[in-house]
Structure formats: C-alpha cells, structure tokens
Structure 1
Amino acid sequence: MTKILLINAGSSSLKWQLVTMPKERVIASGQVERLNLPGTIVKVAVNGKKTKEVVETLDEITAIDRVLKRLVTVGGVKTLDEVQAVGHRVVAGGTVFKEAIKLTPSRINQLQGLSELAPLHNPLEVRCIELLAQRLPGVPQYAVFDSSYFHGLPEKTAIYGIPYEWTKKYQIRRYGEHGISHQFLAARAAEQLDRPLSELNLITMHLGSGASITAVKQGQPFDTSMGMTPVTGVMMGTRSGDVDPSLVPYLMKRLSLETPEVVIQELNASSGLLGVSGVSSDMRDLHTAAKDNRRAQLALEMFVNQVVKLVGAYYTEIGGADALVFAGGIGEKDADIRAAIIDRLAVLGIQLDPELNTIGAEGPLQAKASSTAILLIPTNEELAMARDVWGLVSDEVVVK
C-alpha cells in the first residue's frame, strides 16, 4: 500500500487528496477556494467527517502549508513521513512532456522554461513542487500534464492559420488544458450512459475560474477551446478568452509600452469576469452584485453567451452530441448558469429538467423530451492523477 499526496493547484483554488494505491482509497481530501481573495475557504474531509473554515487571504504557498498541517492534525496521517509520493497537476507540458513523469531538478527547470505556455500556472506549479521538496525531503514527486490528452487532436483542429513553417519550427499548436479533467469526464460519461466510449460524441464543459470546453468524437478529443496557452477560449475568472491578436500591439501603442508582457499579463490576470464586472472573478460574488450592478450582469451574460457559442459550434463540428457534460466549480454548483446555457441551446432540442437541475446531484439533468443527454459529473482530476502516478511508482517497484 502506497500513500500518495495529490496537489492540484489551479488559478483560484487548490484541491488535494491523500490516497492509498492501488486500492484508490481516499484517506483525506480537501479544497482551498478563493485563493488570493478575501475570505479564503478551507474545506477538509477525513473518513466522512467534513470541516469548513473561512480565513484571511491565502495564496497557493500558504495554502499548501495549511494542507500539510491539517493532514496531521485531523488524522489523515500520524506524521508526514507516511507520505510516500507526491503527484502534481501541471498545466503545460508542451511538446516536451507528453505523459506523466518523475520529477528531477533538470525536468523542473524544463517546466519553468515552459512558463510562456501557461503563465498563470506553470510558475505557480513549479513553486509548489519546490515547496513540497522542502517540506517532504526525499519523497519522490511526479507531474501529470493537462496537455497530454490533447496531443492526439487532428491537425485540422490543432494548428492555426499561420505559415505552416512557423507551426513546425516553433511548435505552435493548440495544446489545450484541463485535459486530465476532460479525459476523466469522457470516461465517466460513458459509464453513466452505459455505452462504449468509442461510440460516443460528447461535449465536456469544465467551467470554473478557469474554463474550457472540449469536443469528443467517437471517444477521442477532436477540438478544444484553450489554445497554445490557457488564456484563450471562453472568458474566465481573470482571463480574457479569445481576443483579436491585433489588440496586443494596439494597446502597446496606447499605453506606450515597449514590450507585450504587460498586456499579456493583463489579459491573464485582470480580464475576464473580473475585468468586465469590476467586482470579482468569483461567480458567486457576481450573482450577488448583478442585482444592482449592470457590469456584473454583463459579465454573466457574456460568459453564458460564449459557452453557448462554442457548444453550438462543437455540436455541428462533430455531427451532434450524445451528451453535454457539466463539470468544474461553476458547472457543478451553479444551477442558474446551467439553466441559462441550456435555455439558449433549446434550438437544438436540448432541454433541462428544472427539478433535477435545482437538486444538482451527479447524473442526468435532461428532460424526457431532450434530444441530447445532459450530465452533471463532479470532475475527479485527483483520481486520474493518482492512477498515472501509481503507474510510474509501481513500475519503479518492479524494476527494483
């Protein structure tokens, strides 16, 4: 039995699990929500007992230290020496890393070198890796990549309409993100529909502070909303989503900037729901503010519209869908956003059951007359990560 600590550091939250492998038993789990925002929420579950506290603002590093402390104090482990491996979700592996790896100093440096592909994520994830190396010295660490799932995209959806020589020489392509989640959602949808995944067309929606949508055709990823970096696709908590690339040099001139870094940073960290609303990057705050704040309402409307636009495009691109899948913090917990999205898709014959949607339990949400199934599936990136990490750990045990 091997105890593996899984760290999933996102743009606004940090999720974690301590699992035993190969039995896939979760000893303890938790989530830190509203990172870098006032009123950070810390949730922990151990043996069915759940606790929740609201604390002053935590960043990712202080959140990890709190997780390690809680692991011992709430009974996940007696001492941290019981942790035998650590697995990290890493967003961008580029063309360098196409599958899960064991981390070494040289590979950590390579990850740092890929920061341009995920400026909000890779540097953060490297800092988390380095911190865990300090806190758990000698414990092997592993990386599982979001981008791995999308290496098989067909070329017609994977590359951009730029000179083909640039595509090949500079490895410019749609890497996609949230791949760990989308792969899990597709497999889980096949289980819920009781059909082979290879027969299914699906549209999986990972909607949270980071949001992405993926078209799955006959069980394989066919298209996805995020591109070479995670700033593209639908607007997100702080990321702009798709913008005209000419916006970058235009703003450089208007702001008297000599390099594009400031604009790129603003598109990543000060745009999206936060930038439009001027209120918050958190959907819960926007629902509250929207009653009296037109910009907050506008941000909600824009988010819904952009999701609908992509889902409609993917629906035709893959020749119809057997199911739409909602996941992520917004997709799983926000019944109003789900209803607004499906209402706009009524032209496709897709209908939501209002009662099932309000209950919001895992499983089908569609009305009987719906042309397409609608599934709510809480994503479990940590389980998918655990399986990949265990594959590497068990191989090392066999070799020894």
Structure 2
Amino acid sequence: MSVVLVINSGSSSFKYQLIEVETAEALASGLVERIGEPIGASKHKTAEGSFTAEVPIPDHTAGFQVMLDAFAEHGPSLEALAPVAVGHRVVQGGARFFEPTLITPLVEINIDELSLLAPLHNPGALQGIKAARAAFPDVPHVAVFDSAFHQSMPPAAYTYAIDRDVAEKHRIRRYGFHGTSHKYVSEEAARFLGRPLAGLRQIVLHLGNGASATAIDGGRSVDTSMGLTPLQGLVMGTRSGDLDPSVLLVLAQREGWSPVELDRFLNTRSGMLGLAGASDMRDVEERHEAGDADATLAFDVYIHRLRAYIGAYLAQLGGVDVISFTAGVGENSPLVRRAATETLGFAGIHLDPARNEARERGTRVISTDDSPVTVLVVPTNEELEIARQTLEVARTQ
C-alpha cells in the first residue's frame, strides 16, 4: 500500500488525513485545534465513527501526540498502515518553490523567510512541519505549495505596475494560491470528460470562504485572481478582494489605523461579513431570498466580481472549453452558479436548470447538452492532490 499522511497546519490547529494514494481512499481524518489554549480539542474520524477528546495541547508537538494517541486508540494502526511519507500544505512558496519539495533544514529556513509574504499561514505550517518531523523522523516529509501551480504564469500576468527595483527588493508580485485545488480540479475535469488536458482551455472557480479563479491553458495556470497574498481578487467570506489601494491611505489618515489594523480590517472584517454581517454564503443566500437589503447587495457584489473575472479570463484564453465550480460554495450553491453564468450566453455558456439544481454528489455536468462550453461541478480534493505529489517525491528518494 502507498499510504501518505497529509498535514494542513495553522497557528493554533492542524487537520490531517491518512490516504491510500493508489485507491484515493481516506483511511482516517481529523482535526486538532485550540492549540495553546488551556484546553484543546481533537476529532478523529474513521470508517468506525467519529471520536472527540478535550485535553491540554500546549503546542504542536503535543498536538501530534494527541493525533498519534487517537490512531492508537481508534485506528487504523500506524504500524500496520505506516505512512511512507508525510505531505505538508504550505501556502506561500514565493518564486523559490515551483514544485513539491523534499523538506530539509534549508527548506524550513526558506519557508520561515517567506512568512513575510504569508504571515497568517507560513508560521503555522512551519510549526506543523517541525512537530511532524519529530513524530515521524524516519520517512520523507514533502512541502506542497499553494502557490507552486501558478509559477507557470507569464510575467505580464504576475507583474504589478510599480517601480521594478522596489518590487524586486521586496519580492512584490502576484503569486496566486489554492494551486493544489486548481490543479486537481482541472485534471479531474479532463479525466471526467475523456479529453486530453493539453487541449483544454479551462476556468476553475474555487469558491469557498476563501475564493479564487484561475485561467488554465493546457493544464498550465496562465492567470489567477489572488496576488501577493490571498487577499486579492474575488469577494470572500471575510476578505475584501480587489480594492483601490487608496482606500488604505484614506483609512490610515482618517482613522489612524496602523498596518496591522488595516490588515485585520481587510482580512477579517470585510467581504461578505463586512457587507452583510455574515461570512457564510448559506446565511447570506437565505437572507437575500427573504428580501434583506444588505444581504442582497452583498450577493450582488459577489456575483458582479465573479462575472468580471470569468469575462476577463475568457478574453485571456481566447475562449473557453470548460468552466468548473468547486469548493464549498461552488459545489453546493445552485444560486451562485446560476447567477454567475446567466449573462454569459453570448460566450456559449448555457446552464441546464434541472442539472444545476440537482443535489447530486461527485463530478457532474450542469450545462445543456448543446452548450458549446461544458460547465461542471467538480468536488475538490486538495488532500488527495497533496498526497499524490508527496508520493511522487518520496519515490525518488
């Protein structure tokens, strides 16, 4: 068996999955959270059920011991199903990492240095890496970077129109994120349709609490909505997305806000939460359909921005063969899918209302049979993609 343990670590929590890569089966999954608080919590799920615990978890090393105890008590046995490698999701790889990378002390240093570009993500990932390497010292550990898939973007797509010396000094450019999801979904779409990936022009819409759009030509990212950080682009649950930079200057001058306060405002108090008072699209939709004016405006702004990016990528690609909706909102909101595409008939995009409304699972077509552009719902599986990339690296060691 080719079993890989996938770790997605943040500053106060980490998620994990034990995956049999050849069969794509998740043998177990879990969450360890509230790390550093007086009482932490863990949830461990297997085919036998879900098991929870509340115990002190002072740091990530203790958190990994909680995970190991859960495997020992509830299974599956890590002796019988020993992972051949551990894969780690790392958000920001900068321009240094453009493929999954075997973790060494030097790679850890680089991930730490790149925390300047992802202060909310890379430090937690590094803590998880160190704890995992202590818990599993005898197997390869591999970093899979969210930004790596977008390293194929041309300079015209990733370059900001600012002084180039300043940009180079501070490594300011567009990097893009959600790369493992965009890669997985674009390849799954080609497999599902039985068409060569190299011949497809695709737009993938990863719509969750965080959201991004990517133009993919022949399996390569050529443009994406997120930028230097995951703040740019689409409207998100608590993030503003695209914004006139002068807004920050106005707020700094009139409110006296520091850079830290501005960052928190745009990342945690904006987006759907800022407009409607709710970050979950399900709540916004419910209130929108009930006639709530704030929720309706929030929904309209969300859709306006989403259509704008679809239109831009139609132009960049010179047309599109496949559009895929994925992640929590993309997979589960017929209203968002319908609203996002209802003005795009001119481009050959026609949704089938019954298919769009059907509460099915799995990859499926939601466009009409005669639609020149195929529209899909493709459930993302970032953990499986990380496991696959991790195994490829491990097999070369």
Q: Give your verdict on TM over 0.5.
A: yes
CA-CA distance at 1:88 after TM superposition = 1.0
Please give the secondary structure, in 2, of the residue aligned with 1:310. helix
Contact 2:14–2:128 under 8 Å retained in 1: no
| Matched residue SS, 2:147 | helix
Q: Give the letter aligned to residue 192 of structure 1.
A: F
Specify every segment of 5 or more residues in structure 1 that has no aligned partner in the other structure, as ranges: none
Once the two structures are TM-superposed, the CA of residue 104 in structure 1 deviates from its matched residue by: 3.2
* Within-5 A mapping of 1:306-317: 306-317=305-316
1:308-387 to structure 2, matched below 5 A, reads 308-357=307-356, 358-361=358-361, 362-387=363-388
1:330-352 C-alpha deviation (Å, 9 max, x unpaired): 11122222122122333433121
Amino acid at match of 1:44: K
- Is 167-176 or 93-102 further displaced after alignment? 167-176
Range moving further from structure 2, 126-135 or 383-392: 126-135
Task: Check the 8 A contact 1:332/1:360 in 2, yes or no.
Answer: no
Moved more, 168-177 or 154-163: 168-177
Asked if 1:265 corresponds to 2:264, the answer is yes
Within 5 Å, give how 1:188-199 maps onto structure 2.
Answer: 188-199=188-199
Partner of 1:123: 123
What whole-Å deviation, never above 9, does each CA across 1:241-273 have from its counterpart, x for those lacking one?
01111122221112224x422202221222212
Equivalent residues of 1:120, 1:268 under 8 A apart: no
Amino acid in the other structure paired with 2:386 = M
Mapped contact 1:15–1:30 kept (Cα < 8 A):
yes
Question: Is 2:227–2:233's contact at 8 Å kept on the other side of the alignment?
Answer: yes
C-alpha offsets along residues 155-208 of structure 1, whole Å, 9 cap, x if unaligned? 111211123333444432211111111111121111122221111111011111
Measure, in 1, the Cα distance between the counterparts of 2:108 and 2:122: 10
Residue 155 of structure 1 aligns with which residue?
155
Q: 1:235–1:18: structure 2 CA closer, same or farther, 3 Å change rule? A: same
Please give the TM-score of this superposition, normalised by the length of structure 2: 0.85
SS of residue in 1 equivalent to 2:351:
coil
Which of 280, 283, 292 lines up with 1:285 in the alignment?
Answer: 283
- Please say if 1:245 is aligned against 2:241: no
CA RMSD of aligned residues (A): 3.4
CA contact (8 A) 1:200 1:322 kept: yes
Aligned residues: percent identity? 36
Aligned amino acid, residue 85 of structure 1: A
Residue by residue, what CA displacement relative to the aligned partner does 1:272-329 show, whole Å, maximum 9, x if unpaired? Answer: 12222223x2222333444364323332222222111101111122111101011111
- 1:42, CA displacement in angstroms? 6.1
Task: State the 1:72 CA deviation.
Answer: 4.0
Question: For residues 1-400 of structure 1, what are the structure 2 equivalents within 5 Å?
Answer: 1-9=1-9, 16-20=16-20, 23-30=22-29, 44-46=45-47, 51=50, 68=68, 70-77=70-77, 82-133=82-133, 135-136=135-136, 140-257=140-257, 259-279=258-278, 281-290=279-288, 291=290, 293-357=292-356, 358-361=358-361, 362-396=363-397
| Amino acid across the alignment from 2:208 | G
Cα separation, partners in 2 of 1:113 and 1:24, compared to 1, 3 Å: farther
CA contact (8 A) 2:11 2:125 kept: no
Mean alpha-carbon deviation: is it higher for 285-294 or for 176-185?
285-294
Work out the CA distance in 1 between the residues paired with 2:348 and 2:180: 30
